């Protein structure tokens, strides 16, 4: 039996149809991208409920058109990641987020030994490294966040930040130099 279906629509095609109010295109786009977005955001935040809310807000912005994709030849996944990661940051900055995360960490610590990642993140937030990171310019700090804390490659960070890969490398080098000086 031969299938009459053609090739799967591209992300750009789906986004064009979503802009026209096509619910089935939105559902296909959501199924294609939601799982990886949840996984990536959970690397940055231990609060599963908060991550789920952020993912829903991200896709709601796509559906409502408040987040517009303007680069038909660009990377849709990078665009979607920028929306989700920025919404997560905004949520974490919001009132009460720190208390939710502190409570979640306390519950996890009472049942198990803290992971190496949790120990590093606590040191980043409260130790000498946290102060040194806070003194970096926003551009340098964003590169450190993307490449070190998020574990992205240079190419992935370039897409996420909307800058050339060479600029990511240069900013990473400058950030490392500045951090070495401050922590020495």
pLDDT tens-digit series, residues 154-177: 887 887 788 899 999 999 999 989
Q: Between residues 8 and 103, which one has the greater pLDDT? A: 8
**pLDDT for the residue 34:** 92
What value does the mean pLDDT take over residues 112-121? 56
- Domain assignment of residue 53, yes or no: yes
Show the tokens assigned to 109. 């610590």
% of the chain residues with pLDDT over 70: 72
Q: Are residues 126 and 180 both part of a single domain?
A: yes
Query: Which of 80, 112, 144 is the C-terminal boundary of a domain?
Result: 112
What value does the mean pLDDT take over residues 53-62? 92
Average pLDDT, the chain: 78
**pLDDT for the residue 48:** 85
**pLDDT for the residue 24:** 94
Return the DSSP state at 113: P
Q: Are residues 77 and 119 both part of a single domain?
A: no
Count of structural domains within the chain: 2
**pLDDT for the residue 95:** 45
Query: Which of 93, 112, 131 is the C-terminal boundary of a domain?
Result: 112
**pLDDT for the residue 147:** 83
pLDDT in tens, 10-40: 888 888 888 888 999 999 999 999 999 998 8
101 is in which domain, residue-wise?
Answer: 9-112
d(CA 61, CA 51): 15
- The residues, ordered by sequence, that sit 6+ positions from 1 with a Cβ below 8 Å of its Cβ are none
C-beta separation of 183 from 129 below 8 A: yes
Q: Are residues 96 and 121 both part of a single domain?
A: no
């Amino acid at each position: 039996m031969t299938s009459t279906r053609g090739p799967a629509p591209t992300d750009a095609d789906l986004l064009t149809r979503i802009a026209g109010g096509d619910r089935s295109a939105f559902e296909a786009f959501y199924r294609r991208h939601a799982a990886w977005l949840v996984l990536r955001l959970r690397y940055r935040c231990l609060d599963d409920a908060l991550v789920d809310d952020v993912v829903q807000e991200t896709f709601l912005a796509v559906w409502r058109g408040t987040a517009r994709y303007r680069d038909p030849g660009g990377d849709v996944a990078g665009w979607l990641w920028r929306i989700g990661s920025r919404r997560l940051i905004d949520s974490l900055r919001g009132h009460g987020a720190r208390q939710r995360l502190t409570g979640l960490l306390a519950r996890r610590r009472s049942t198990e030994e803290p992971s190496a990642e949790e120990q590093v993140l606590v040191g980043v937030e409260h130790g000498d490294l946290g102060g040194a990171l806070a003194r970096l310019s926003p551009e340098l700090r964003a590169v450190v966040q993307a490449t070190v804390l998020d574990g992205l490659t240079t190419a992935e960070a370039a897409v996420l930040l909307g800058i050339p890969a060479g600029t990511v490398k240069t900013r990473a080098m400058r950030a490392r130099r500045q951090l070495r000086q401050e922590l020495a």
